[in-house]
């Protein structure tokens, strides 16, 4: 028996002098056989996958989940694979293709999981840089594989403001403007409410069939722009 490491030629005391006390005292690909009291600790060969284990350092793979495993999380696998759990047995397998059922982003080849593997979860996941303008079709749905698409031009059918280049979807159609409040028109333009488009404001003396908003002066009298 021993009371301290200094009493042992090996430098390791665990009640009895031995080759190790913890796994890191052993050479690479070995671990410390230290589970039996009053028995000399020795270094043994690390365990193959499928063998019962208590800790990762006992395993050749360094991953333990009751038995030695190839992996226990996706980051343990090559970049094009993820860690699959099959009845408490974990192994690396190729990432899932587009539209496959998934539970996390790291399972998917496209990189995103929203119930199904897709190219995005929100528009922020789509193209960046330059003048890239995209929306994520299928965003928030667990039954549609999400894809990145160009934002829609005016006149295209839409399901919400976020799908339109101008940011306005009115009655399921992308518009430049809806009225003087909901508008993307420039200061020198006004919103034509019949066409939902931006048109140039008129100077005094010009006809103003669309009313005050059509005039720079914001005053239309008897069909012509005038000063107030």
pLDDT, tens digit only, all 228 positions of the chain: 899 999 999 999 999 999 999 999 999 999 999 888 778 999 999 999 989 999 999 999 999 989 999 999 999 999 999 999 887 789 999 999 999 999 999 999 999 998 999 999 888 888 755 555 788 887 666 667 888 888 899 999 998 888 888 889 999 999 999 888 888 889 999 998 888 889 999 999 999 998 899 999 989 999 999 997
Residues 45 and 81 grouped into a single domain = no
Domain assignment of residue 153, yes or no = no
Structural domain containing residue 215: 189-225
Check residue 52 and report its DSSP letter. Answer: B
Supply the pLDDT for residue 180: 80
Domain assignment of residue 14, yes or no = yes
Helices (H), the chain: none
**Where a domain ends, among 50, 69, 88?**
69
Domain assignment of residue 211, yes or no = yes
Domain assignment of residue 89, yes or no = yes
Residues 62 and 10 grouped into a single domain = yes
Q: Considering its fold, how many domains does the chain have in total?
A: 3
Decide if 191 contacts 176 (C-beta within 8 A). Answer: yes
Distance CA 16, CA 194 (A): 94
Domain assignment of residue 166, yes or no = no
Classify burial at 161, counting beta carbons within 10 Å of its beta carbon; exposed 0-12, middle 13-18, buried 19 or more. Answer: middle
Residues 44 and 95 grouped into a single domain = no
CA distances (Å), origin 79, targets 75, 103, 105, 111: 8, 18, 13, 11
Domain assignment of residue 137, yes or no = no
Domain assignment of residue 90, yes or no = yes
């Amino acid at each position: 028996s021993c009371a301290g490491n200094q009493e042992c030629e090996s430098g390791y005391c665990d009640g009895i002098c031995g080759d190790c006390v913890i796994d890191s005292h052993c050479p690479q690909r070995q671990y410390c056989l230290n589970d039996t009291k009053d028995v000399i600790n020795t270094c043994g060969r690390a365990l193959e996958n499928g063998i019962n284990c208590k800790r990762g350092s006992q395993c050749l793979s360094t991953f333990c989940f009751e038995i030695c495993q190839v992996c226990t999380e996706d980051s343990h696998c090559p970049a094009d694979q993820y860690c699959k759990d099959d009845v408490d047995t974990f192994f690396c397998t190729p990432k899932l293709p587009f539209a496959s059922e998934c539970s996390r982003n790291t399972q998917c080849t496209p990189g995103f999981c929203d119930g199904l593997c897709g190219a995005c979860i929100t528009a922020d996941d789509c193209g960046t840089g330059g003048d890239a303008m995209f929306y994520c079709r299928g965003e928030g749905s667990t039954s549609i594989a999400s894809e990145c698409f160009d934002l829609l031009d005016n006149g295209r059918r839409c399901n919400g403001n976020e799908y339109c280049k101008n940011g306005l979807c009115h009655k399921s159609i992308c518009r430049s403007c809806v009225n003087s409040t909901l508008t993307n028109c420039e200061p020198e333009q006004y919103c034509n409410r019949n066409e939902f488009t931006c048109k140039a404001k008129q100077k005094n003396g010009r006809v103003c069939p669309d009313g005050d908003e059509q005039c720079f002066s914001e005053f239309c009298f008897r069909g012509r722009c005038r000063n107030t």
